[in-house]
Chain A
Amino acid sequence: MTIAQIVFLVISATTLVASILVVTSRKMVHAALWLVLSLGGVAVLFVLLQASFLAVVQVVIYIGAIAILIIFAVMLTRRMMYDTGSPINRYWWAGALAAVLLFAGLVVMLGQIPSITTQASALPIPEGELLSLLGTALVDVNGYMLPFEVASVLLLAALIGSLVVARPMERKTEEGDKR
């Protein structure tokens, strides 16, 4: 085994254990922290695949923004210091079934790729160029410009929608204004 393989095994094991603990830990904040660990594990997997841009973006977006937002929301809920109720409700089997089915589907689908057992060769472009190729492909008319623009419009709509939802109700009366 090479060092990269050992690192891969350790990191994937950590990620898996952490993601199981996300759904089983009794404290909400602990669950959120385990989520951070598993997301960090995914970032390390990206590093192992030499996708440094994706790794860094994973940390910025998922750990730096989403996980912190989740922790923030959890902390703002009441009694978060001693929220120790059981995280398992009576539909746990449905969730487990869905997870197993999804995993099995992924395994079957990946097994049908013919080159799955051979080691992939490195891309014939230097690593520094990958990022700029990705960037140009996203704004290239022959590349992925349309999906990119559609996604941008969707995100903008979501942004405006969240603003509309979060806006306080229009206060009509003078008395309402006083409060």
Chain B
Amino acid sequence: MDFNFWDPFTWIGEWLLNLLVGWGLAETIALTLLRFAGAVVLALVLLLIGGVLFTWLDRKLSARIQDRLGPNRVGPFGLFQGIADTLKLLTKEDIIPAGADKIVFNLAPLLVTMSVVGIWAVVPFAPTLIGTDLNVGLLYIISVGSIGTLGIMMAGWASNNKFALLGAFRTVAQMVAYEVPMVVVLLVPTMFTGSMSVHAIVEGQSSLWYVALAPVAALIFLTTSIAELGRAPFDLLEAESELVAGFNTEYTGIKWGMFFASEFLHGLTISALTAAIFLGGWQGPGAEARPLLGFVYFMIKTMVVYFGVTLLRFSMPRVRIDQLLDLNWKFLTPLALAAVCVTAVAEKLALATNWSRLGVHIIANVGLLILTLGALWVRARMVRRRFETEQMRLAARSESAAD
């Protein structure tokens, strides 16, 4: 196969396959080996980018928002700060606290990192660059994510530390809760495409991105993803002022580094997922014929979402645990269910009546938004009124007590 500048991925794959078969390997074994190699390369590149480059980006952005300079000593613009930090983490002493459960303690960072890297197996970077096209891709993403929850729980328990355990409790309450609206809202792109495969979902957005058809669903997905990620405003699991550092209090050296890198990578992951599921993935002008261009589009979309998530992170205060759970169970979950129902009805209506699909969905979503805001307004008024009557009663009582 000739080298095609616009599609280097297929070319590299076929070249390597031919090389291995030429060395005398059977084709199935060669394919299996190549899949393993691809997974290793993907994980290494992602962890390097996530751990080294994105730390730098994050610190620079936070510095800009907080009116500081950020890292600016190591390399141009402080670009090599991440490498210096990684070296520092690698050479630090590895401490296992007394009374810790050694095996579980060591297994936890592995599980957490694995769960984040595993999600990338189904992320379509370009039309010809995807780890594996599972037909249950969306469910796979959820299931792999839940293994990360398990890892955090193990880390908190095995540390033999109250604060770590409390952090783990919070994490699990948060992650299990926010998984519910996330799963529900993922039904919306599934309904549009008729498939749970991420690749099919991206292909289904060739004419119209799903964010235009279901803006409410996209917003709920992003919110729940940030909560799953455990970043501000949902960073209760490592609330420094309350829990020292949360579930990873007792971790040192590269094991702590693994938690850190996987958190950064998770931030990139949710951005990529939002870009793929709601923002059209690699779709763009000319991407179908030129996979490299699709890769660039995908990366740009991911970066835009990541930038938004980071801005949110540094400009929002942390919510309280009761607010967090209230937001999920009393607001996001019913809204997600309503969004699914409304979308289903609108989709069928558009099919049956030959109206514009976009128009029907936009009207449905705006109606949903108005209803939600109305319900919020009524509730806010009720809460305020109850609070005022309570205040008045208290004031009256203290007055009578003073007499």
A65 at the interface (CB under 8 A from B): yes
Q: Are A68 and B150 in contact (CB under 8 A)?
A: yes
Q: Are B139 and A68 in contact (CB under 8 A)?
A: no
A67 at the interface (CB under 8 A from B): yes
25 residue pairs of the A-B complex, CB under 8 angstroms, read A3-B32, A29-B157, A30-B101, A30-B104, A33-B154, A56-B139, A56-B143, A59-B143, A63-B150, A64-B142, A64-B143, A64-B145, A64-B147, A65-B176, A68-B172, A68-B176, A71-B153, A72-B169, A72-B172, A75-B169, A81-B99, A81-B160, A127-B135, A131-B136, A131-B196
Q: How far is the CA of A53 from the CA of B138 in the complex (A)?
A: 11
A36 at the interface (CB under 8 A from B): yes
Closest to A3 in B: B32
Q: How far is the CA of A139 from the CA of B32 in the complex (A)?
A: 38
B263 at the interface (CB under 8 A from A): no
B134 at the interface (CB under 8 A from A): yes
Q: Are B139 and A53 in contact (CB under 8 A)?
A: yes
Q: A56-B136, A131-B136 are in contact. List 15 more A-B contacts (CB 8 A).
A: A29-B157, A33-B154, A53-B139, A59-B143, A59-B147, A60-B139, A63-B146, A63-B150, A64-B143, A64-B146, A64-B149, A68-B153, A71-B150, A75-B165, A81-B99
A13 at the interface (CB under 8 A from B): no
Question: Which residues of chain A have C-beta atoms less than 8 A from B99's C-beta?
Answer: 81
B238 at the interface (CB under 8 A from A): no
Q: How far is the CB of B77 from chain A (nearest CB, A)?
A: 41
Q: Are A63 and B147 in contact (CB under 8 A)?
A: yes
Binding site for B on A (CB under 8 A): 3, 29-30, 33, 36, 52-53, 56-57, 59-60, 63-65, 67-69, 71-72, 75, 81, 127-128, 131-132
Question: Which residues of chain B have C-beta atoms less than 8 A from A3's C-beta?
Answer: 32
Chain B interface: which size bin? 20 to 34
B235 at the interface (CB under 8 A from A): no
Question: Which residues of chain A have C-beta atoms less than 8 A from B144's C-beta?
Answer: 59
With beta carbons under 8 angstroms apart, the residue of B139, B149, B150 that contacts A57 is B139
With beta carbons under 8 angstroms apart, the residue of B140, B143, B146 that contacts A68 is B146
A52-B136 CB under 8 A given contacts A33-B104, A59-B146: yes
Q: How far is the CA of A81 from the CA of B101 in the complex (A)?
A: 9
Closest to A74 in B: B157
Closest to B200 in A: A128
Q: Which of A29, A33, A52 has the most CB of B within 10 A?
A: A33
Question: Which residues of chain A have C-beta atoms less than 8 A from B101's C-beta?
Answer: 29-30
Closest to A59 in B: B143
Closest to A58 in B: B143
With beta carbons under 8 angstroms apart, the residue of A53, A75, A127 that contacts B157 is A75
B7 at the interface (CB under 8 A from A): no
Q: How far is the CA of A69 from the CA of B196 in the complex (A)?
A: 27
B179 at the interface (CB under 8 A from A): yes
Question: Which residues of chain B have C-beta atoms less than 8 A from A127's C-beta?
Answer: 135
Question: Which residues of chain B have C-beta atoms less than 8 A from A52's C-beta?
Answer: 134-136
Q: How far is the CA of A3 from the CA of B158 in the complex (A)?
A: 36
Q: How far is the CB of A28 from chain B (nearest CB, A)?
A: 11
Q: Are B135 and A131 in contact (CB under 8 A)?
A: yes
